[in-house]
Structure 1
Amino acid sequence: MTESDEELWSAGMEVVQRLGEHGHEAYLVGGCVRDRLLGRPLHDVDIATSALPEEVMAAFDRTIPTGLQHGTVTVMFGGRPFEVTTYRTESGYTDARRPDKVAFVRDIREDLARRDFTFNAMAAGLNGEWIDPFGGRNDLAEGIVRCVGEARERFGEDALRMVRAIRFAAGFGFRVALSVWRGIRSQGPRLRQVAMERIGSEWDKMMEGADPARACSLFGRSGLLLHLKEPLPPAVMAGLQVSGPAAGIRPLLEIADTDVRWIAWLAGTGAHPEDAARFCKALKFSGKRETRIAKSLSFHRAMPERGADVRRAFLTATLDFGRAAALDWLSMKVEGAKYQKWLDELPAAKAAQLAVRGDELVRHAGMPAGPWVSHLLRHLLEETAFGRLANEKNALLRAAETYIVQTKK
């Protein structure tokens, strides 16, 4: 635990103490308790309390009523925000995500009983007090993902919990309890009620997590991807069982950028760029991410594995798909030094980097603008890329004259 983690934990305990001074019970709960036991960084600290929302607001100088209908108040304390939520029970999940009814209760154990997994159903209080009614600490020690109570019921309440089970298993290096697998098999069809944005967000967290390859493998084995609101491309589905990266591509864990991990994984499935674009659309990724992933996958598929003019293929692909796609591909490669050298030596990767503009070519040729301009710019790009022409204005104009004469023949 870092010093900042300790400070955050201590500040959370001060909120607990303040509530206690006002006659209310309170504990740190959920992910912060789990992550402290695992020695992982703390991102935020949530607090559960017997106090009603109005009682929480009365106990602190600065509060924000962020979710009063669910008992949640954001307390600003020591310059930090803390979500403080009244102990509650939940019932009626008609949309397979959110409870239809919330009831405030006075017992922390009732509150913990509504949570998803045992290691998320623990509470830490003042003076080292721990409340762990479902064996969460033991499951952390044994490295197992287990539901609070019946997995079938927990997943029936919130279908996204099935995806989270896989994310936790891959992220923590845990195994999935047999009861959890059975619950997933039983409740899998309920995932059709979950928005694709939520699926995409969870899968994104898996891809940036500690073991993205295992996460994708578990996701495929679970059968959950057969029950999405929007179907994934068949090529991606077929490639889900691929056990390793494409030839010459580094393992996902060795790649720092999450989007490049997606590109490498899709390359391993054998997906085409069109499949990648459909995949990104289905998971509701931004248009910018979709373009990057599909374009970089196009770059990968344009590169021969062996027996061809690799330098020519690399430079052509860079002109076709851009320097950014080349850099993505290079960051995936096991051996990329020679490619990096070629990229560094490239005088221009796009027409805008040439020492002559399209309008200058039009004036120099004394011809009306038309498709010939883009064809000529591409020709000049290739000539400079392959070292046959200097990226210098007069040289480019002379080469343009020759090109125009030859194309008129």
Structure 2
Amino acid sequence: MEEKEEAAWSAGLDVLRRLTEAGHPAYLVGGCVRDRLLGRRGGDIDIATAAEPTAVMSLFADVLPTGLKHGTVTVREAGFGFEVTTFRQESGYSDARHPDAVAFVRDVREDLARRDFTVNAMAMDADGALVDPFGGQADMRDRVLRAVGHAAERFGEDALRMLRGIRFAAELGYRIDESTWDGLLARRDKLRLVAMERVGAELDKMIGGADPARALTLLSESGLADRTAEPLPPAVVAGLRAAAGEMAAAMNAQGEPIGGDLRWAALFVGCGATAADVLATLRVLRYAGRRAERIASVARLHERLSGAIPGGPFGRRKAIAEGAGAIAGEAREGWIRAVLDFGREAARDWLRLAEAAPSAIALGGPDGPYREASRWLREMPAAAASELAVRGDELVRHAGLPAGPWVARHLRLLLEEVALGRAANEKTVLLAAFASHLRKER
């Protein structure tokens, strides 16, 4: 494990020891224990203790009262933050997300009983001794994800657990226990009570995880995708199973792996979603506008290239791949115009998808035109008006006209000439071309 992760683990054990030495039983709990046992890189290190928040705050110099209502404070030790929560039982869950009432208890087993899955319901003390009342170790050995107690009750308490279950199953490569799956199906309508921000965060972790294709398949099979508080576009929900195949191809392909927003782009391309569907989906999931626009730009470019919107340059793929002169020239010009419309970044993103999974993502399969398109992109002398050797204010002065929409239009004309190789990106050449355009318009 990385040095920083080991340092955090060591600091967490120091917090445990201080609590224990003060007479308060304390344990590392949840996902950090699971990941430690599996030898996986972990996330946050959480601590549960018999000590109530006031007692915890009296023992440590640097403590933040981050969740006193639920018995949680954050202890800062050796540069790391640890959530320390009093052993508790919960009841109520009227919103299917949060307990209406919390009662502090003295036994860690009672605390573990309220947790979601057996692999997350284990605790470890400072000496490494494990408390595992629900068979989490056995389930890890058998590679099965099983709810603690009655699955329908666990999912009824917190409906987000259903999405978390799908994420854990995909991430860990576990099968979902039959009774746990049945409990999920029985409670899936409760997902409509979960805030879209939380749904979006879980989906983001699935797409960015170890096996997004399996996560998408489970989402499709569970019916959760069409039970969100705000509906996702029908094309996206209907296309999840197909998208899983595209995602699997992209993830298993040779070459540089794709990640982050490119995985989302692969999902939408696999769904056959339009750019409008992309923006609608990411808006519903509360993703940042800039991020959504980047992903949508890849979808727009793919629509153009596939001919789903007018002007697609790769319609006659076989002739292009064989280098037929006029057709190849037509494809090159169409590609360059698409790059000018949607941007160099979208073009690079699309090409990375095409390289990762040519048979699934790229048009024309492994011998498709994307190889030529990559060269055409590299050879473009300019892809944005800001890259031209002339500025808008210089056109205004050269023409002796008041500024207006005509400036942007003429910069685009000049950009096309430079990008297509019809004019050098030099100020004198561009001003001469501009003057010629003006004369023709008059």
Tell me the TM-score range normalised by the shorter chain.
over 0.9
1:380 and 2:414 aligned: yes
1:303 and 2:305 aligned: yes
Q: Secondary structure at the match of 2:74?
A: strand
Q: Which residue of 1 aligns with 2:162?
A: 162
- The total of aligned residue pairs comes to 406
Residue 165 of structure 1: how far off its partner (Å): 0.3
Q: Which residue of 2 aligns with 1:351?
A: 385
1:331-390 residue CA offsets vs partner (Å, 9 max, x unmatched): 211265543332222111111211112222222223343333222221111111111100
Q: Which residue of 2 aligns with 1:256?
A: 258
Residue 44 of structure 1: how far off its partner (Å): 2.3
Q: Which residue of 1 aligns with 2:364?
A: none
Q: Which residue of 2 aligns with 1:10?
A: 10
Q: RMSD over aligned Cα, in angstroms?
A: 1.8
Q: Please identify, of 98-107 and 38-47, the stretch whose mean Cα deviation from structure 2 is larger.
A: 38-47
Q: Which residue of 1 aligns with 2:206?
A: 206
1:18-70 residue CA offsets vs partner (Å, 9 max, x unmatched): 11111111111011100001111122211111111111122222222111111
Q: Secondary structure at the match of 2:395?
A: helix
1:87 and 2:87 aligned: yes
Residue 252 of structure 1: how far off its partner (Å): 7.5
CA distance in 2, matches of 1:65, 1:72: 7
Judging changes above 3 Å, is the alpha-carbon distance between structure 1 residues 77 and 367 closer, same or farther for their aligned structure 2 residues?
closer
Q: Which residue of 2 aligns with 1:35?
A: 35
CA distance in 1, matches of 2:96, 2:252: 32
1:137-160 residue CA offsets vs partner (Å, 9 max, x unmatched): 111111111100011000000000
Contact 2:418 2:425 in 1 (8 A): yes
2:431 counterpart (368, 393, 397): 397
Judging changes above 3 Å, is the alpha-carbon distance between structure 1 residues 4 and 366 closer, same or farther for their aligned structure 2 residues?
closer
Residue 107 of structure 1: how far off its partner (Å): 0.6
Contact 2:166 2:218 in 1 (8 A): yes
Q: Secondary structure at the match of 1:229?
A: coil
Counterpart of 1:200 in structure 2: which amino acid?
Answer: G
CA distance in 2, matches of 1:116, 1:324: 41
CA distance in 1, matches of 2:196, 2:142: 33
Runs of 5+ unmatched residues, structure 1: none
Q: Please identify, of 45-54 and 341-350, the stretch whose mean Cα deviation from structure 2 is larger.
A: 341-350
CA distance in 1, matches of 2:25, 2:404: 76
Q: Which residue of 1 aligns with 2:400?
A: 366
1:287 and 2:289 aligned: yes
Q: Could you tell me the TM-score, scaled by structure 2's length? A: 0.88
CA distance in 2, matches of 1:378, 1:83: 55
Q: Secondary structure at the match of 2:82?
A: strand
Q: Secondary structure at the match of 1:390?
A: coil
Contact 1:252 1:265 in 2 (8 A): no
Q: Which residue of 1 aligns with 2:269?
A: 267
Contact 1:88 1:111 in 2 (8 A): yes
Q: Please identify, of 358-367 and 111-120, the stretch whose mean Cα deviation from structure 2 is larger.
A: 358-367
Residue 11 of structure 1: how far off its partner (Å): 2.1
Q: Secondary structure at the match of 2:298?
A: helix
CA distance in 1, matches of 2:258, 2:148: 34
CA distance in 2, matches of 1:370, 1:284: 36
Counterpart of 2:231 in structure 1: which amino acid?
Answer: P
Contact 1:303 1:310 in 2 (8 A): no
Q: Which residue of 2 aligns with 1:61?
A: 61
Q: Which residue of 1 aligns with 2:376?
A: 342
Residue 265 of structure 1: how far off its partner (Å): 1.0
Contact 1:255 1:332 in 2 (8 A): no
Counterpart of 1:157 in structure 2: which amino acid?
Answer: E
Contact 1:145 1:165 in 2 (8 A): yes
CA distance in 2, matches of 1:4, 1:365: 62
Judging changes above 3 Å, is the alpha-carbon distance between structure 1 residues 106 and 337 closer, same or farther for their aligned structure 2 residues?
same
CA distance in 2, matches of 1:402, 1:255: 48
Q: Which residue of 1 aligns with 2:131?
A: 131
Contact 2:27 2:48 in 1 (8 A): yes
CA distance in 2, matches of 1:69, 1:55: 15
1:113-138 residue CA offsets vs partner (Å, 9 max, x unmatched): 00000000000113331110001011
Identical aligned residues as a percent? 54
Residue 251 of structure 1: how far off its partner (Å): 3.8
Counterpart of 1:132 in structure 2: which amino acid?
Answer: D
Q: Secondary structure at the match of 1:342?
A: helix
Contact 2:239 2:270 in 1 (8 A): yes
Residue 269 of structure 1: how far off its partner (Å): 0.6
1:184-224 residue CA offsets vs partner (Å, 9 max, x unmatched): 11111111110111000000001110011211121111101
CA distance in 2, matches of 1:400, 1:128: 76
1:316 and 2:371 aligned: no
Residue 8 of structure 1: how far off its partner (Å): 2.3
Q: Which residue of 2 aligns with 1:220?
A: 220
Residue 306 of structure 1: how far off its partner (Å): 4.7
Q: Which residue of 2 aligns with 1:119?
A: 119
Q: Could you tell me the TM-score, scaled by structure 1's length? A: 0.95
Counterpart of 2:246 in structure 1: which amino acid?
Answer: P
Contact 1:212 1:252 in 2 (8 A): no
Residue 404 of structure 1: how far off its partner (Å): 1.9
Q: Which residue of 1 aligns with 2:72?
A: 72
CA distance in 2, matches of 1:255, 1:322: 22
Counterpart of 2:175 in structure 1: which amino acid?
Answer: R
Contact 2:258 2:353 in 1 (8 A): no
